[in-house]
């Protein structure tokens, strides 16, 4: 039985079996939940299907969130790329459009899969679905890699936190990027060790990132941070696949993330009182949104 209290445990268990992290996690979780491997695979595939569906809903010019703060950016990016204004190549184009689309879909009350949270729900699917398309990877491989992502998330949740209210944005978008980076490495055929380095590289790149949503809503800067988080995952996976290692072991990076999170003052942990949320413009927007509501 796996304890999910360190990523080292997952890597060693996988190496011992000459398997992927997802193989051992799938077996362990089936046993733990008293269900068959096929059964929980199917549930994960259903999640993957909703992830895919959540993209289309937001790729429209006229969607708006209830607050009016967001909507339409994914479409704007999609159109710009269609007109040849691409900077990062086709993989990055897809990743950014999908990350924005899913995060906007969430803000506009679309149906999404929390991964690990609703606020960071665009990162993991944007990375995996785009690479699946670009590299013609079979669906089963992608669905399996979601188990690796989930196992990484479980370890982070146990050792640190995946909640912005507890650990800041590093714990939400940072964890999502770390999960996506590890899953992507596995999906591309990298070793469990490489996956753990990708996870470490993604997480340590955003240590200290605060959770400062304007008006307390999951919109500004959350949606754009999903695009950032997805690109962070691609960068980390690319480095790890080249054999680049994180000299600080991944579990120590997670512990550092927790320590930094504990040091963050409450105003920088999802209260909507500090950082971007405390800027004059954010205060004005907040007044407009909630003032307007009160008049209705």
Q: Within 10 A of 138 (CB to CB), how many other CB atoms are there?
A: 10
> What minimum distance in Å lies between the beta carbon of 84 and another protein?
32
> What minimum distance in Å lies between the beta carbon of 219 and another protein?
7
Give phi and psi for 132, each to the nearest 5.
-60, -45
Binding footprint of another protein on the chain (CB under 8 A): 4, 25, 29, 32-33, 40, 43-44, 46-47, 50, 65-67, 105-119, 121, 124, 146-147, 149-151, 153-154, 157-158, 162-163, 165, 179, 215-219, 272, 289-290, 293
CA distance 137 to 187: 8
> What minimum distance in Å lies between the beta carbon of 188 and another protein?
19
> What minimum distance in Å lies between the beta carbon of 205 and another protein?
21
State which residue, 46 or 265, has the beta carbon closest to another protein: 46
> What minimum distance in Å lies between the beta carbon of 240 and another protein?
21
State which residue, 40 or 209, has the beta carbon closest to another protein: 40
Per DSSP, the three-state class of 10 is: helix
Radius of gyration of the chain (CA): 19
CA distance 9 to 205: 23
CA distance 236 to 44: 24
**Sequence-ordered list of residues with C-beta below 8 angstroms from that of 18, at least 6 positions apart, any chain:** none
**Sequence-ordered list of residues with C-beta below 8 angstroms from that of 233, at least 6 positions apart, any chain:** 123, 124, 127, 176, 177, 178, 180, 181, 184, 198, 202
> What minimum distance in Å lies between the beta carbon of 107 and another protein?
5
CA distance 264 to 267: 8
State which residue, 103 or 239, has the beta carbon closest to another protein: 103
State which residue, 1 or 242, has the beta carbon closest to another protein: 1
């Amino acid at each position: 039985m796996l304890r999910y209290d360190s990523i080292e445990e997952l890597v060693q268990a996988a190496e011992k079996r000459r398997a992927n992290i997802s193989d051992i996690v799938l077996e362990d979780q089936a046993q733990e939940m008293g269900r068959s491997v096929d059964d929980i695979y199917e549930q994960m595939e259903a999640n993957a299907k909703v992830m895919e569906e959540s993209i289309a809903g937001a790729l429209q010019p006229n969607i708006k969130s209830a607050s009016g703060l967001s909507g339409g950016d994914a479409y704007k990016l999609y159109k710009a790329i269609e007109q040849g204004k691409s900077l990062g190549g086709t993989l990055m184009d897809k990743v950014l459009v999908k990350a924005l689309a899913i995060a906007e879909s969430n803000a506009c009350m679309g149906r999404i899969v929390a991964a690990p949270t609703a606020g960071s729900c665009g990162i993991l699917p944007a990375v995996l679905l785009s690479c699946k398309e670009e590299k013609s990877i079979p669906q089963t491989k992608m669905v399996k890699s979601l188990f690796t992502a989930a196992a990484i998330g479980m370890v982070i949740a146990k050792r640190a936190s995946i909640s912005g209210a507890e650990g800041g944005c590093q714990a939400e978008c940072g964890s999502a990027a770390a999960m996506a980076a590890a899953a992507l490495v596995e999906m591309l055929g990298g070793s469990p060790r490489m996956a753990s380095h990708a996870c470490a590289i993604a997480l340590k790149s955003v240590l200290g990132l605060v959770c400062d949503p304007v008006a307390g809503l999951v919109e500004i800067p959350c949606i754009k941070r999903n695009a950032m988080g997805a690109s962070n995952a691609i960068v980390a996976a690319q480095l790890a696949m080249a054999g680049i290692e994180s000299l600080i072991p991944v579990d120590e990076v997670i512990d550092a993330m927790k320590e930094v999170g504990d040091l963050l003052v409450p105003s920088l942990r999802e209260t909507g009182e500090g950082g971007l949320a405390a800027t004059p413009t954010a205060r004005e927007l907040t007044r407009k949104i909630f003032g307007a509501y009160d008049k209705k």
